[in-house]
Chains A and B, each alone.
Chain A
Amino acid sequence: MKVQHNPWIFLLSVAFLVQLCLALYEDQAGKFDWRHQYIGRAVHATFDQSGVQGKRLLLSTEQNVVAAVNARNGQLGWRHILEEGDSGRIDDMIVVNNFVLVLCSGGGLVRAFHSISGSLQWEAPVPASPAQKRGDLALHGGDDQLLVLSGDSITVLNSDTGVEVWTKVLSNTGTTDYVYTASHGNDIIVAGISPGSHVSKVIYTKKGEVKLQESFPAAWLASQEQCQFSKGHLICLSQDGSIVYHARLDSNAASFIASSISQYGLQRCQQLEVFSADTELYEGMPIFSVRCDTKSFNLFIIKANTKLELLKTLKEVDSAEIIQFEDITVLVTISREDGDKATMAGIDLETGKEMTELSVKVHFPQHHGAPNQLRGVLFKHKDGLIGMRILVISEDHSLVLYQQSGKVLWLREEALASIMSVEMVDLPVSQIMAKMEDEFGNQNNDLLSMFVRRFTTQFQQVQAFILQLRQRLKAVRHHHHHHQVEEAEVEQDEEEEEEDEEEYLTRDDFNLHKMIVAVTSCGKIFGLDSQNGHVVWRLYNPLLVPFTKQGRSVLPLYVHRTTAHFPHQPQCSILGLHKTTRKGLLFTFHPISGVAEENMPASGFELNHGILQATLLTQMDSEFLRPLVVLSTDLKYFVYPREDTDLVKELAPSLYMFSSNDAAGILQGYNTVPTDQGLVADVMWRLDLKREGHAITQVVPKRLDERVNSQGIVLGDRSVMYKYLNPNLVVVIAEGDDGQGKNSFNVYLVDGVSGRLVFHCNHKKSSGPINVVHSENWVVYNFWNQKHRRVELAILEMYEGKEQSNTTDFSSLHPPPPPVIMRQAYTFPGHISAMAATITEIGITSKHILIAMQNGGILELAKAFLDPRRPENPTAESREEGLLPYIPELPRPFEATINYNHSVYNIRGIHTVASGLESTCLVLAYGLDLFYDRVMPSRMFDVLKDDFDYFFIGSVVVGMILVSLLTQKLAARKALNRAWK
């Protein structure tokens, strides 16, 4: 690329830049925007034992995050986000002294973070493991040394400095999965499993010499999941759940000892769980539990004479944990009950008696699902009584901390770190407004009653207005002190929320206040208040799981009916798969109240087959509901709601669908044929896009709700160039390497109805991650240029030319001549994780592109920078059109970072939605963190700015009036005086 450094161009662009950047004022920070930070689904959790006991919670999560959470209020102390994907996956976490040690075996690293400050103490490379293999950590030699089992090797590190003491490669790694390491006196045990064959173990001396290497048969062992390791023992449960096998690994000539469970009167057991608490009780032998068919929870211990002993049988325990405190060993359990309740109980394991001071009924709502893990600390109060704090990690990824009294200290909804799809739904109009609207629906009313009704509603309106005014005045006074409280709070206060919810959740004047409906990967659905991000309602459907599309998990959300059709209630659905049957599952609910549809089975409507494609029709039925059409894998249509099948039949001649077979690189189009068995899809066209081993990675259609009100652009010579506005156009990206290690990708523009290839281009020596924005008549995508090693943003714009072939409608079946494609590419100084275009109600406001970057910023870039017509040498005409001169590098001004220093990380998507103001677009960026804001691409041209100085204007006007009155008086007096002279 030739680069010209023309100072004149530079100056000009700077001038434009100043004009195009719309920055916030500092005092506006946090006024319309909010950010929530999450950590994700906790896998390992430990109360920090250093310093004040139980003050800090140390966690590592499925989202590759290590974090410290303040146990008093649930706020994040520090948080480190490791590499995405397998290289940052945290296999194990140990807390020793003041350090959190985490093993990322995929990336081949052990990291030690200081538990208070979060700074890195040391980082040590260890042999990396392949993707599926998990490593293990253990302490050795009085916590001085760290044993790391990772990637076919055992490594011993100094746990203070991270310096390697020795490392040894294990043998037979092809057949044996080494998964466990432990310290036993001076020796080091490493154990592995060969499913269906045997168990291997190696004992090393302190210096790394092999002391013993042996294997013992275990033909009954089908998979690793059957076994657990604890305190030098391997404990397994047979597949039919009738026999417990255990083996001492630290002894010579180890072998399995089988114990039938039936001798304890138990059968069909499952869910083997070991407890790792360091207890002196029972000579430190391993304690484990199994759940059997009566849902009983049975706690066993392996005695020194290798016999099992049943310690305790409890009814229906959801989760349990053993906590050691001074000389007491307590088994803490939680069991769900009917309603939103659960019971927590503490049992002293030495005496076997229930500790009444630890048994308490707690509030545990149904939407948490089952509690999966318990963590707790015990401490002594000043009066000698034992207190406790219990953390419950549930199926829905939530973290709840309970105090001894059973009070919820805090709650973190970590499911919001894995949002799959988002919609913002308009809030309903207030009841009074609804009554007004009701009036127009009824025709059979007589004049008098209509008059009375109109009069009363209007009177109520006045009343409501006065009330509102009073509240607003109150709120202004309330605001300052409220703001400070909010900062100290991580999660919402439920009581506060319920106050005046009915009044509060109504549409505002400009429709800026919306309900954010967020669907998360675990099947939990949230309704968030767009003003502050507080959770208004939650729904949990544990059977709903995402399905895969273009290599990505998706869980699409559809809005069947908005709130605009009173008295019909709004309706949304989620399309996913059933967890066990893997068939399609449709879950329908009310997006404002968060109540599941009444006539629906509890888990949702189940489809007979998997999902190939689904779309919401643009046509509405007689009840203003937009039906959802799902094309199942057997090429049959499923229509929801069922009653609308006839409507879809009517529309069948104009209903076309397409699907993509991603690995095969095939795009297939279907038309709809009504048959006796219902609606059936018939293959109409096939497009083979498999070139050089490319697989389809993205299919990006246009947004259905986007409106384009400008049919063309006016050129410098006063002629019009018409946009190519094909609503059926989809962008297809196929990525792959050419077999010689060189990556490339193809961009196809395909008409989704006719299968016509509109445009195609190839990028050599380029790879993903690719993000595509498809809007109006343009496509913007980013990729990594391997040759020049930089991020590039490319723009494609399509024009029909100087004449429009069909001015009223677009038809894919009678297409206009192939469009003129203009394209350009720019380098972008940053790595992009997600992109989206702004959208406004009527579509006359200029477009901006929102770019979420890896450094945590969200950049608002004017589309004018990404105009393929930016000339290298500006002419008078181009200047008149307002085209910026071409500069290869796009700007990244800090003022255009909409989230300022509130960085958000691992953003997967940006959802934009129009508000009632044409100038304003609402934005929600979601990923590990959430960020919500309003953006005004063409500034706020339709209402006064929020910072408009009413006081100043008012005081100037009043001042002017006063001065004019005063001067009048003075002048009159002077005239009088003169007359007297």
Chain B
Amino acid sequence: MHLNKMTPDFLILSLIFALLRGIGANPEEEGNDKSLFKIEGKVLAPQSADQDWISSTKILVDGGANIGFLKSDGTFVINNVPSGSYIVEVVNPTFVFEPYRVDITSKGKTRGRKLNNLQPSAVQTVTYPLKFKSRGKAEYFQRREEWRISDLLFNPMVMMMIVPCLMFLVLPKLMNTADPETQKEMQQSMNMFTNPKQNMPDISETLTSWLGGNPAAGNAGRKAAKPRPLKKK
């Protein structure tokens, strides 16, 4: 299904390479053909790399059949590689680099492509000489959960506790306390809380009355009108 997506050029290219490789693997041919080629490339210095990243980095061809070392500018050349197809990977303890596959024809034509272990015949070429760019630092460690006040505050349970508290404590303050009528109202409602014998109004009812009144905080008249039925009781 992936082949359909590929352009015909790629198909032909890969076919040619497959053919060439087939020839290369032929034993009679191999006997004569001893020419060795090289793989070239550059490893771009990762950000935040320390001084000795060059000496701690190496290039492995097929897991160490050939090994390349970096020059001080990050370039490398791997000599004495016979024709074939190889996995080229950059090894560094701290930084991660994506491995590539390099194909060398029996005539020494070299190309780099993305490594795809699942579909080895799928070709997605990359620039050659190879350019390795760090994908960042390897995340070897789990982040330990730190105790932060914000974590605690944004915890949903805590939020559920705090928001109603705020409503109870802050909202009344926000209301116009200068207005004597409101003050009176408050007094009464406070009385209701402190005096349990008195017939308690439903909390939800109180809340709705407050919330309903809140948007029209400026309109004192309407606000004052609503609690009035309570008074009549």
Minimum CB–CB distance for B46 against chain A, Å = 13
Size bracket of the B interface: 35 or more
Interfacial residues of chain A within 831-858, with CB under 8 A of chain B in the complex? 831, 854-856
Interfacial residues of chain B within 129-165, with CB under 8 A of chain A in the complex? 138-144
Contacts of A25 in B (CB 8 A): 141-144
Kindly supply a per-residue 1/0 record for chain B positions 61-95, scoring 1 wherever the CB is within 8 Å of any chain A CB and 0 otherwise: 01111111111100011011000010101010110
| Complex Cα–Cα for A949 and B27 (A) | 66
Contacts of A789 in B (CB 8 A): 85, 87, 101, 120
Q: A123-B69, A790-B120 are in contact. Are A831 and B140 (CB under 8 A)?
A: no
Contact A83 B65 (CB under 8 A): yes
Minimum CB–CB distance for B21 against chain A, Å = 10
Indicate if A121 sits at the interface (CB-CB under 8 A).
Answer: yes
Contacts of A119 in B (CB 8 A): 54-55, 69-72
Contacts of B58 in A (CB 8 A): 80-81
* A positions within 8 Å CB-CB of B: 1, 3, 23-27, 29, 78, 80-84, 87-88, 107-109, 111, 113-114, 117-125, 128, 740-741, 788-791, 827, 829-831, 854-856, 888-889, 894-895, 897, 900-903, 947
Contact A26 B141 (CB under 8 A): yes
Q: What are some 27 contacts across the A-B interface (CB < 8 A)?
A: A23-B140, A23-B141, A23-B142, A25-B144, A26-B141, A78-B56, A80-B58, A83-B65, A83-B67, A117-B72, A120-B69, A121-B71, A123-B79, A125-B80, A128-B80, A789-B85, A790-B117, A831-B64, A854-B60, A854-B63, A854-B64, A856-B91, A888-B118, A894-B138, A895-B141, A903-B91, A947-B144
Contact B144 A27 (CB under 8 A): yes
Contacts of A113 in B (CB 8 A): 69
Minimum CB–CB distance for B36 against chain A, Å = 7
Apart from A78-B56, A741-B30, what are 15 other A-B pairs with CB-CB below 8 Å?
A: A25-B143, A26-B141, A87-B66, A109-B80, A113-B69, A117-B51, A117-B55, A120-B69, A121-B71, A790-B117, A854-B63, A855-B60, A894-B96, A901-B93, A903-B91
Indicate if B25 sits at the interface (CB-CB under 8 A).
Answer: yes
Contact A83 B27 (CB under 8 A): no
Nearest B residue to A107 by beta-carbon distance? B80
| Complex Cα–Cα for A475 and B160 (A) | 46
Task: Across the A-B interface, give the 6 residue pairs with the lowest CB-CB distance, nearest first.
Answer: A831-B63, A118-B55, A900-B140, A23-B142, A120-B69, A901-B93
Contacts of A27 in B (CB 8 A): 144
| Complex Cα–Cα for A791 and B80 (A) | 23
| Complex Cα–Cα for A109 and B62 (A) | 18
Contact A827 B118 (CB under 8 A): yes
Minimum CB–CB distance for B65 against chain A, Å = 7
| Complex Cα–Cα for A123 and B80 (A) | 11
| Complex Cα–Cα for A111 and B118 (A) | 36
| Complex Cα–Cα for A901 and B27 (A) | 42
Pick from B62, B117, B143: contact of A831, CB under 8 Å? B62
Indicate if B195 sits at the interface (CB-CB under 8 A).
Answer: no
Indicate if B52 sits at the interface (CB-CB under 8 A).
Answer: yes
Contact B80 A889 (CB under 8 A): no
Interfacial residues of chain B within 38-52, with CB under 8 A of chain A in the complex? 38, 51-52
Minimum CB–CB distance for A15 against chain B, Å = 16
| Complex Cα–Cα for A902 and B140 (A) | 11
Minimum CB–CB distance for A740 against chain B, Å = 6
Minimum CB–CB distance for B195 against chain A, Å = 14
Indicate if B119 sits at the interface (CB-CB under 8 A).
Answer: yes
**A-B CB pair tally, cutoff 8 Å:** 127
Pick from B64, B76, B101, B140: contact of A84, CB under 8 Å? B64
| Complex Cα–Cα for A78 and B101 (A) | 29
Q: A119-B72, A895-B139, A901-B140 are in contact. Are A125 and B36 (CB under 8 A)?
A: yes
Contact A78 B119 (CB under 8 A): no
Contact A82 B67 (CB under 8 A): yes
Contacts of B101 in A (CB 8 A): 789
Nearest A residue to B144 by beta-carbon distance? A25
Pick from A24, A81, A740, A830: contact of B140, CB under 8 Å? A24
Minimum CB–CB distance for B154 against chain A, Å = 20
Minimum CB–CB distance for A309 against chain B, Å = 46
Interfacial residues of chain B within 157-196, with CB under 8 A of chain A in the complex? none
Minimum CB–CB distance for A621 against chain B, Å = 47
Contact A26 B144 (CB under 8 A): yes
Nearest A residue to B77 by beta-carbon distance? A123
Pick from B55, B69, B91, B119: contact of A855, CB under 8 Å? B91
Q: A80-B55, A831-B64, A901-B94 are in contact. Are A788 and B120 (CB under 8 A)?
A: yes
Pick from B30, B52, B63, B119: contact of A117, CB under 8 Å? B52
Q: Name the residue in B63, B76, B138 with the highest tally of chain A Cβ atoms < 10 Å from its Cβ.
A: B63
| Complex Cα–Cα for A894 and B140 (A) | 5
Contacts of B36 in A (CB 8 A): 108, 125
Nearest B residue to A887 by beta-carbon distance? B118
Minimum CB–CB distance for A890 against chain B, Å = 10
Interfacial residues of chain B within 8-41, with CB under 8 A of chain A in the complex? 25, 27, 30, 36, 38
Pick from B52, B66, B140: contact of A78, CB under 8 Å? B52
Contacts of A1 in B (CB 8 A): 118
Contact B66 A83 (CB under 8 A): yes
Pick from A81, A791, A900: contact of B141, CB under 8 Å? A900
Contacts of A895 in B (CB 8 A): 139-142
Nearest A residue to B74 by beta-carbon distance? A119
Minimum CB–CB distance for B103 against chain A, Å = 10
Contacts of A109 in B (CB 8 A): 79-80
Contacts of B96 in A (CB 8 A): 894
Contacts of B62 in A (CB 8 A): 831
Q: Name the residue in B55, B60, B140 with the highest tally of chain A Cβ atoms < 10 Å from its Cβ.
A: B140
Nearest A residue to B73 by beta-carbon distance? A119
| Complex Cα–Cα for A128 and B120 (A) | 32
| Complex Cα–Cα for A125 and B36 (A) | 10
| Complex Cα–Cα for A945 and B117 (A) | 39
Contacts of B140 in A (CB 8 A): 23-24, 894-895, 897, 900-901
Contact A118 B85 (CB under 8 A): no
Contacts of A947 in B (CB 8 A): 144
Contact B70 A120 (CB under 8 A): yes
Minimum CB–CB distance for B115 against chain A, Å = 8
| Complex Cα–Cα for A831 and B99 (A) | 12
Pick from B56, B80, B93, B139: contact of A108, CB under 8 Å? B80
Contacts of A855 in B (CB 8 A): 60, 89, 91
| Complex Cα–Cα for A525 and B48 (A) | 43
Pick from B72, B93, B117: contact of A903, CB under 8 Å? B93
Minimum CB–CB distance for B9 against chain A, Å = 23
| Complex Cα–Cα for A83 and B138 (A) | 25
Contact B72 A829 (CB under 8 A): no
Minimum CB–CB distance for B17 against chain A, Å = 12
Contact A24 B142 (CB under 8 A): yes
Contacts of A897 in B (CB 8 A): 138, 140
Minimum CB–CB distance for A876 against chain B, Å = 27
Contacts of B72 in A (CB 8 A): 114, 117, 119, 121
Minimum CB–CB distance for A130 against chain B, Å = 13
Nearest A residue to B60 by beta-carbon distance? A854
Q: A29-B141, A125-B36 are in contact. Are A118 and B54 (CB under 8 A)?
A: yes
| Complex Cα–Cα for A768 and B197 (A) | 89
Contacts of A128 in B (CB 8 A): 80
| Complex Cα–Cα for A894 and B92 (A) | 13
Contacts of A111 in B (CB 8 A): 69
Minimum CB–CB distance for A929 against chain B, Å = 12
Nearest A residue to B55 by beta-carbon distance? A118
Contacts of A24 in B (CB 8 A): 140-142
Nearest B residue to A853 by beta-carbon distance? B63
Pick from A122, A741, A889: contact of B117, CB under 8 Å? A889
| Complex Cα–Cα for A136 and B116 (A) | 42
| Complex Cα–Cα for A831 and B54 (A) | 22
Minimum CB–CB distance for B33 against chain A, Å = 13
| Complex Cα–Cα for A84 and B87 (A) | 17
| Complex Cα–Cα for A789 and B103 (A) | 12
Contacts of B117 in A (CB 8 A): 788, 790, 827, 829, 889
Minimum CB–CB distance for A496 against chain B, Å = 29
